[in-house]
Amino acid sequence: MSPASQPATTPNAVAWTDLGHGVTLNENAWTDQAQRLLPEDLLRLIARLHRKLEPTRQALLADREDRQAAWDAGDLPGYLPKNEHPEAHGDWQVAPLPDDLQQRRVEITGPVSDPKMVINMLSRNDQGDRADAAMLDFEDSMKPTWPNVMQGVENVRDAARGTLTYTKPASNGAPGKEYSLDPDDMPLLMVRIRGLHLRESNLRVDGTPVSGALLDLAMVAYHSAHTLIDQGKTPKYYVPKVEHYREARWVNRLFELVQEGLDIPVGTFKATFLIETLPAAFQMEEILYEFREHAAGLNGGRWDKIFSDIKVLREHSDRVLADRNWIDIQRPWMEMYVKQLIKVCHEHGAFGMGGMAPHTPGRTEEMREKQVAGVVDDKEFEASIGHDGCWVSHPYFIGPALKPFEEKLGAQGKTHQLDVIPDLPERPDLLPKGGVGPKTLDGLRVNVRVSIGYMKGWRQDLGCVAWDHRMEDLATFEISRAQTWQWLHHEVTLDDNTVVTKSVVRRIFDEELEKIVEETREFFADAPEEVIEEQVDRFRRAAADAQAIFTEENMRPFLAQASELYGAEK
């Protein structure tokens, strides 16, 4: 193979390198690392997958737009007609779960691109606690820049081998620190691929960008699946943001084709689908049926679900939701949705996984104690209704999240709760309820403040940021901007009689930015003035970006639907 560069065809565009087999790559992206990770046989596989699957993916995305247009015109999402997919409601079971998927009480997640975080997720914390599984994320907690994606693939490869290491450089008089894995004491390794809507701009087949999900799965499986299988472990994946059973069918076909392409028996891969969109909540049984050969379970992704609730019903003035911090898993429609998820999963032999504890450890002991109590309360509720496990975003909270599940399952000598079937109506009401709960200026301030902090990280190619003692990722940014957009669109009157207008939103941005600037100057008080000003400028730019997105006339479906062209002018 002798790659040849092709000239750019549009102003400010990148040049493209021809890698053969119809594959072209952004010339800037053909780094030494990419050349190691994209050998010719993998490129051939990616090209075959793209040609077989991309037309259907485009049709599925067009279907999403048609459904949203109908909802915007007044329709409501709901269950499918009973005669549309009757086989999904019969007496069937998912394929038997392998031994290493039988206990998933606590799963920890974070960006796959950060080797230190990957090592920490796959290791015991300072208290000696270890998660049962670690989900290495190419999606909500990782901005999909080309370097991040390539580093993520390399991290998964080395983690599967047990050889991943990281050296923290010495700084400010503190010595460097070495991080490494204990291959004999690691949790189940899992990978979350990108969603159906995301395309990888830097790699094209026949002139068309490839699916991010396709690229992630093909690359990660190529570099780690056989390694895991040889160790007697299961290649395990998470699939986000599915909206319809036909999308689950597409992903299942992707799984089949990747396994066939790598000479792996079909059904070896296992996956958990996140039910984190309102449309998918009404099709859980159909979705599980479509990937029953590869199914490990479903997960109730509560944060993206709240975003989807708002986005889907954005034009429905009678379903405008209250402050984001008020919407917890015990609100009636949220509780019904996770109980329905547990019921569907357990009836068919799959795990029903619970939600995320998004905290990062507070600075004071009092704050940490309060956080721990909140995590325990949340996980006690999830364990009590039948979940088989839950998520945390920081190693510090593994123990508190684990405790309720240990107490519930340990007392019965079980590793899961597949025997628990919640008692629900045949078709429970899953539609979000408007007209209840607070809508406050403080709630608007939270949305704005989160968006400034998150957008600063996004501009620095980070997909998650520790902010106000929580881990804010793309999902919580999406909630914040969707809710603000909806309140603005409907000119909502808040509890103090403030009407949400563009001028009010801009004023809150100005006020919250100045608070953040003051906090930044205080935090960096001992740093050189140029360092302080650089940080302040980054927050100002982030605030400007976020404000522009919050006040758009038309609400975009996602913050981004494509990765950036690496090395292109912005």
Contact 513, 540 (CB under 8 A): yes
Closest CA to 254 of 304, 296, 290: 290
Helices 474-489, 302-312: axis angle to 10 degrees equals 30
pLDDT of residue 3: 52
Residues 561 and 200: beta-carbon distance below 8 Å: no
Which pair of structure tokens corresponds to residue 341?
Answer: 């998820």
Report strand pairing: 351-357 vs 295-299: parallel
DSSP 490: T
Q: What is the CA radius of gyration of the chain?
A: 23
pLDDT 10s digit of each residue in the chain, 570 long? 445 545 444 445 789 999 999 999 999 999 999 999 999 999 999 999 999 999 999 999 999 999 999 999 999 999 999 899 999 999 999 999 999 999 999 999 999 999 999 999 999 999 999 999 999 999 999 999 999 999 999 999 999 999 999 998 887 778 889 999 999 999 999 999 999 999 999 999 999 999 999 999 999 999 999 999 999 999 999 999 999 999 999 999 999 999 999 999 999 999 999 999 999 999 999 999 999 999 999 999 999 999 999 999 999 999 999 999 999 998 999 999 999 999 999 999 999 999 998 889 998 999 999 999 999 999 999 999 999 999 999 999 999 999 999 999 988 899 999 999 999 999 999 999 999 999 999 999 999 999 999 999 999 999 999 999 888 999 999 999 999 999 999 999 999 999 999 999 999 999 999 999 999 999 999 999 999 999 999 999 999 999 999 999 999 999 999 999 999 876
Distance CA 121, CA 119 (A): 5
What is the structure's pLDDT at 570? 62
Q: Do the Cβ atoms of 386 and 346 come closer than 8 Å? A: yes
- In the set 137, 158, 473, 481, the catalytic residue is 473
User: In the annotation, is 126 catalytic?
Assistant: no
Q: How far apart are CA 28 and CA 570, in angstroms?
A: 14
| Catalytic residue (choose from 192, 194, 449, 481) | 192
Contact assessment for residue 65 and residue 71, using Cβ atoms and an 8 Å cutoff? no
The CA-based dihedral angle spanning residues 556, 559, 562, 567, taken in that order and rounded to the nearest 10 degrees: 130
Sort strands 236-239 and 270-274 into parallel, antiparallel or unpaired.
parallel
Euclidean distance between the first and the last CA atom of the chain, given in angstroms as a whole number: 32
Tokens of 312: 């889907």
Alpha helices in 73-81 (DSSP H): none
Here the tokens at position 495 are 């509890």
For 328-409, strand residue ranges (E) read 351-357, 389-392
CA distance 466 to 92: 43
Residue 32 among the catalytic residues? no
Tokens of 19: 């890698």
pLDDT of 11 reads 41
Residue with tokens 């982030």: 542
- Which pTM was predicted? 0.95
Please give the full DSSP string across 124-175, using - where no structure is assigned.
Answer: --TTS---SEEEEESSTTS---HHHHHHHHHHHHHHHHT--EEEEPPBTTBP
DSSP assigned state of 318:
G
Q: Which domains does the chain have, with CATH numbers?
A: 47-166+186-410 (3.20.20.360), 441-550 (1.20.1220.12)
Amino acid 175: pLDDT: 82
Locate 238 and state its tokens: 């998470």
Predicted local distance difference test score (pLDDT) of residue 8: 45
Which residue type, as a one-letter code, is found at position 259? Q
DSSP letters of 471-484?
EEEHHHHHHHHHHH
With the C-alpha atoms ordered 313, 315, 320, 324, is the resulting torsion angle positive or negative? positive
469: left (phi over 0), alpha (psi -120 to 50) or beta: left
Residue 209's beta-bridge partner residues?
A: 204
